[in-house]
Amino acid sequence: MCRKSCCKYCCAFFPPILVALQLGGWRDQPELVREVGKTYFAKTDNYEAFTLTDRHRDEFFRDGATLLKGVLKPEVVKKLHEYVAPIDYFDPRNIGNLWMMSDEILDFYLFGPLGDIARQVFQSPQAVTAHLAPSAQLQRDFISRRHLNSTNGWHIDRTECQMGDQPSKYLSTALARLAVPLIVEGGVRGTQIINQSKYAAAMSEGTREEYLAGKSMYRKEGRFEQWMLWDPDTAVPVLPGVKLDEEMIIEHWMEPGDIVLFNTCLWHCSPPWVGPEQELGLQPTYAPSNHIAHDPPTYTDMMASWCLYDEFAGKPIGEVNSSCYPYAYPEDKRPKVGSTLTLKRRPQRDVNGKPVRNLQLDPWLSLEVHVLCHCASGCPGDLQLYLLDISLPGTFPEKARCKSRCILKALPSSAMVASLALWNAVDAATCPAGKDTFPPPSQAT
């Protein structure tokens, strides 16, 4: 029984493990240098200004999402699609913060209309940021993909939703996403999002008051994904203390040039893929000047895409001059055409914030794997995990520390390995050497 369940863990996590090592997220990362304003996407005549209406603001601050029609010209969307489409799953540019590795995408975010749209949102009278001087600084982006059996199940964006379960007016800590589907022709179903006002209405009175005051903690940590051992096919997220139903889902039909603005703290997911082509998108977020940067949870950034900003940790991003958060608005603070941005991704850290040491690519590859059980046999391909009883101090908090270390015997067909944490562990389990069974959590040390 344990052997079967152990293999379930190993096999479920195997694909992201390989991707992680392939992309080098567990090594100290080299400097990245971007040159600003030299690509097609820096040409201002490619864009037209977009003005938010009262309807847009009412929808966003009431329901948490609104559709912005025709923000981008079709030819710009086509150029973006031509650039992004060749970036495959194993390309280093695919791990998050694409702008740090692409002059083209950086220019699009800085010179296109998205920064000004974010500035308008921040200055909305409903927002807690309305009193700030008008500005918008690039925070993060990634490529979204919808293809075949990919689910992208219900989740919140913990890299942008940084201080708990908050409604959309708390834009310093519940950052707003600008979802840009790269549709060349026709249309596509937009992100499914739980309606914010209906979400609040489903809460008890006391809980609702706490939520609207921006003081609620996260209802659930993780994602409804198979790789996290949650059911990805649930119609709505199953959350403690609130009952949701399908009538609460917002979904927009999107055509070339459309953008959806939504609160990253709302539970959302991708609708099923209908094909025949892979559906691509860009998913940038901008931050107001009083935003304070926070490292994301390790499970949300397993490949270390986050910008290294240790020199201004704990300070509002508008008070420092850092390439990690370049200004898109106002224009006089935007990086000048021909200037360069020097960036570095943060080294991979464990859950206590300590850097993970470099992997040694020996014939036998050793690594720290934090697991509740291990795969004694039956792993995919030619791989097997061999367990040693070695303590990993400092890897987990005291209440959830797993004492395990695995050696991956990698044949030439699969010479890759990486480390990850199982975040829904109830108690640590001691993993005995050479055993296929484990003590129950109450007996674990």
Specify the pTM: 0.75
The answer to whether residues 424 and 340 belong to one domain is no
Q: What pLDDT, on the 0 to 100 scale, is given for residue 295? A: 74
**Alpha-carbon distance 191 to 70, whole Å?**
17
Mean pLDDT of 314-322: 90
The answer to whether residues 285 and 402 belong to one domain is no
The answer to whether residues 379 and 245 belong to one domain is no
| The token pair that represents 359 in the structure block | 């992997």
CA distances from residue 50 to 72, 73, 117, 123, 286 in whole angstroms, order as listed: 9, 11, 7, 15, 16
Closest C-alpha among 152, 154, 172 to residue 162: 172
Domain end, chosen from 344, 374, 407, is at 344
The answer to whether residues 258 and 407 belong to one domain is no
* pLDDT tens-digit readout, 220-270: 877 787 766 777 778 999 999 999 999 999 999 999 999 999 999 999 998
For residues 241 and 203, the answer to whether their CB atoms sit within 8 Å is: yes
For residue 146, name the pLDDT band (cuts at 50, 70, 90). confident
Domain end, chosen from 294, 326, 344, is at 344
Backbone angles phi and psi of 5, in degrees to 5: -70, -35
Q: What pLDDT, on the 0 to 100 scale, is given for residue 344? A: 85
The answer to whether residues 15 and 126 belong to one domain is no
* pLDDT tens-digit readout, 6-34: 444 444 444 444 444 444 444 456 789 99
Instruction: Please report, to the nearest 10 degrees, the dihedral formed by the alpha carbons of residues 125, 131, 137, 142 taken in order.
Output: -40
For residue 444, name the pLDDT band (cuts at 50, 70, 90). very low
Domain end, chosen from 344, 359, 391, is at 344
The answer to whether residues 13 and 100 belong to one domain is no
The answer to whether residues 370 and 245 belong to one domain is no
Q: What percent of the chain clears pLDDT 70, i.e. is strictly above it?
A: 68
For residue 302, name the pLDDT band (cuts at 50, 70, 90). low
The answer to whether residues 243 and 127 belong to one domain is yes
Q: What percent of the chain clears pLDDT 90, i.e. is strictly above it?
A: 54
> For the domain that residue 180 is a member of, what is the CATH number?
2.60.120.620
The number of distinct structural domains making up the chain is 2
Residue 310 has pLDDT above 90, yes or no: no
The answer to whether residues 150 and 59 belong to one domain is yes
Q: What pLDDT, on the 0 to 100 scale, is given for residue 372? A: 29
Range(s) of the domain holding residue 361: 1-28+349-445
Q: What pLDDT, on the 0 to 100 scale, is given for residue 171? A: 98
* pLDDT tens-digit readout, 355-383: 554 333 222 222 333 332 233 333 333 33
- 332: amino acid identity, one letter: D
The answer to whether residues 22 and 104 belong to one domain is no
Q: What pLDDT, on the 0 to 100 scale, is given for residue 223? A: 79
The answer to whether residues 406 and 359 belong to one domain is yes
For residues 289 and 133, the answer to whether their CB atoms sit within 8 Å is: yes
The answer to whether residues 90 and 80 belong to one domain is yes
Q: Which of 314-328, 352-366, 409-423 has the highest mean pLDDT?
A: 314-328
The mean pLDDT value of the chain amounts to 76
Mean pLDDT of 84-99: 87
Residue appearing with tokens 């509002």: 316
Q: Which of 17-21, 182-186, 403-407 has the highest mean pLDDT?
A: 182-186
